[in-house]
């Protein structure tokens, strides 16, 4: 095992509004303090009763998906918690991932793409 699923991140125009919507559907707690990320206007969370965390990321000029039309595909990515970014990065590259964004000095995450091109983040745990 290389990583642990930390959360599912969904792009949207209004993170707080979407978090409230999913709280109405699933229950749970919106914007519970969590050391793994900062909350703010562009980021909201929902800790569900089952333990899954949904994160809602504000995107300027958000264009909703037109499923099943691939012109505007689904817009989400996985955040995967790892103990060592360098070691996990080497492992996912060996599995066929591609590095998209190595980040700057001291940043706690890196962005990769899976072999089909879907982005995911490795996040220091």
Contacts of 39 (CB under 8 A, 6+ apart): 31, 33, 45
Reported pTM: 0.80
CA distance 18 to 55: 9
Q: Over 80: is that where the pLDDT of 116 sits? A: no
Per-residue model confidence as pLDDT tens digits over 84-109: 999 999 999 999 999 999 988 888 99
CA distance 19 to 41: 12
Per-residue model confidence as pLDDT tens digits over 36-95: 888 888 999 999 999 999 999 999 999 888 878 888 887 888 999 999 999 999 999 999
Give the count of beta carbons closer than 10 Å to the beta carbon of residue 110. 21
CATH of the domain at 48: 3.10.180.10
Write down the residue that tokens 């066929």 correspond to.
Answer: 96
Distance (Å) of CA 7 to CA 36, 68, 78, 105, 121: 10, 24, 6, 24, 10
Q: How many residues does the chain have?
A: 125
Structural domains of the chain, count: 1
Q: Over 80: is that where the pLDDT of 12 sits? A: yes
Domain hosting 72: range is 4-124
């Amino acid at each position: 095992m290389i990583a642990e699923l930390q959360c599912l991140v969904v792009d949207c125009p209004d993170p707080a509004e979407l978090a409230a919507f999913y709280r109405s559907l699933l229950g749970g707690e919106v914007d519970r303090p969590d050391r793994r990320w900062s909350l703010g206007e562009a980021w909201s969370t929902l800790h569900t009763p089952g333990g899954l965390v949904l994160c809602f990321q504000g995107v300027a000029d958000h264009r909703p998906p037109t499923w099943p039309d691939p012109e505007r595909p689904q817009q989400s990515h996985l955040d995967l918690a790892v103990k060592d970014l360098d070691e996990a990065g080497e492992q996912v590259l060996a599995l066929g991932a591609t590095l998209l964004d190595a980040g700057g000095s001291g940043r706690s995450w890196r962005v990769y793409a899976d072999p089909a091109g879907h982005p995911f983040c490795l996040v220091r745990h």
